[in-house]
């Protein structure tokens, strides 16, 4: 460890790891995570802005009954994406028609979502016209579940994701999503660490990197418009 001059971390870190990293006394750049007790720079995608643009687009198409799907405690990125969704919904005065589906992000996610669908049907609650999902993986699972319930995307329900995952290549319908610029983030983290090594007297900074919104097949105007 004598040649170690700085640290770059990726993703959510538990308290034990945070204590261990801070113990080195070295400059730290954290990707997709931050901690108020640590003196470290952080780099995030501009998650709020990305979801705000997607939600604005859906509302512009005429959608009024929107649902956000994602576990808020899973990561800071998921939480920020929810904040972006909620901000747009409140500004459009649609908070009484829109829903948060705070579903545990695991292998049993579809079971929880199906329970929500069944509850809506039983209580005759109007079905959402659009699902804004915290990432592409969730969005694809939602599309499959909609199909199991006799609904098609985007003819019956629009669905959006976030990340532009490589595994989505060639799938239909192609997802409307926000591209996460992983190589740009990686380069920015290295650049920031080099800068921080030479300027450790300055306070920590949070850096946001914008991603492109990609409009594809999974979004259309609502049927009841």
Check residues 159 and 21 and name the one with the higher pLDDT.
159
Domain boundary assignment for the chain: 7-45+180-210, 47-178
Superfamily covering domain 47-178: Response regulator (3.40.50.2300)
Q: Number of helices (H) and strands (E), helices first, in the chain? A: 6, 10
CA-wise closest residue to 138 among 86, 68, 82:
68
**pLDDT, mean of residues 197-209:** 93
Q: What is the pLDDT of residue 2?
A: 60
On the question of pLDDT at 19 being above 90, the answer is no
Indicate the average pLDDT of the chain: 92
Structure tokens at 194: 């080099």
Check residues 90 and 223 and name the one with the higher pLDDT.
90
Are the beta carbons of 7 and 24 closer than 8 angstroms? Answer: yes
Q: What is the pLDDT of residue 165?
A: 85
The DSSP bridge pattern shows strands 177-178 and 213-214 to be: antiparallel
On the question of pLDDT at 1 being above 70, the answer is no
The total of other beta-carbon atoms located within 10 Å of residue 212's CB is 12
Confidence band for 206, pLDDT divided at 50, 70 and 90: very high
Q: Do domains 7-45+180-210 and 47-178 have the same CATH topology?
A: yes
**Coil vs helix vs strand at 208:** strand
Task: Give the helix, strand, coil percentages of the chain, each rounded to 5.
Answer: 40, 15, 45
Q: Cα dihedral sign for 42, 138, 178, 91?
A: negative
133-156 tens-digit pLDDT: 999 999 999 999 999 999 999 999
Q: What is the pLDDT of residue 138?
A: 97
The topology under which CATH files domain 7-45+180-210 is Rossmann fold (3.40.50)
173-199 tens-digit pLDDT: 999 999 988 889 999 999 999 999 999
The DSSP bridge pattern shows strands 66-69 and 99-101 to be: parallel
Are the beta carbons of 137 and 77 closer than 8 angstroms? Answer: no
33-87 tens-digit pLDDT: 888 778 899 999 999 999 999 999 999 999 999 999 999 999 888 999 999 999 9
């Amino acid at each position: 460890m004598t040649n170690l001059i700085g640290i770059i971390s990726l993703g959510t870190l538990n308290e034990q790891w945070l204590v261990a990293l801070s113990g080195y006394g070295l400059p730290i750049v954290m990707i997709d995570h931050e901690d108020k007790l640590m003196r470290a720079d952080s780099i995030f995608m501009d998650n709020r802005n990305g979801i705000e643009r997607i939600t604005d687009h859906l509302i512009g198409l005429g959608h009024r009954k929107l649902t956000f799907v994602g576990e808020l405690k899973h990561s800071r990125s998921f939480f920020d994406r929810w904040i972006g969704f909620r901000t747009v919904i409140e500004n459009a005065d649609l908070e009484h028609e829109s829903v948060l589906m705070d579903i545990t992000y695991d292998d049993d996610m579809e079971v929880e979502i199906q329970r929500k669908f069944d509850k809506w049907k039983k209580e005759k609650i109007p079905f959402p016209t659009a699902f804004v999902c915290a990432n592409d993986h969730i969005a694809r699972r939602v599309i499959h579940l909609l199909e199991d319930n006799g609904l098609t995307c985007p003819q019956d329900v629009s669905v959006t994701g976030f990340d532009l995952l490589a595994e989505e290549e060639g799938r239909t319908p192609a997802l409307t999503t926000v591209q996460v610029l992983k190589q740009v983030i990686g380069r920015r983290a290295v650049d920031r660490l080099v800068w921080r090594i030479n300027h450790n007297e300055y306070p920590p900074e949070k850096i946001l990197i914008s991603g492109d919104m990609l409009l594809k097949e999974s979004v259309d105007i609502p049927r009841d418009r």
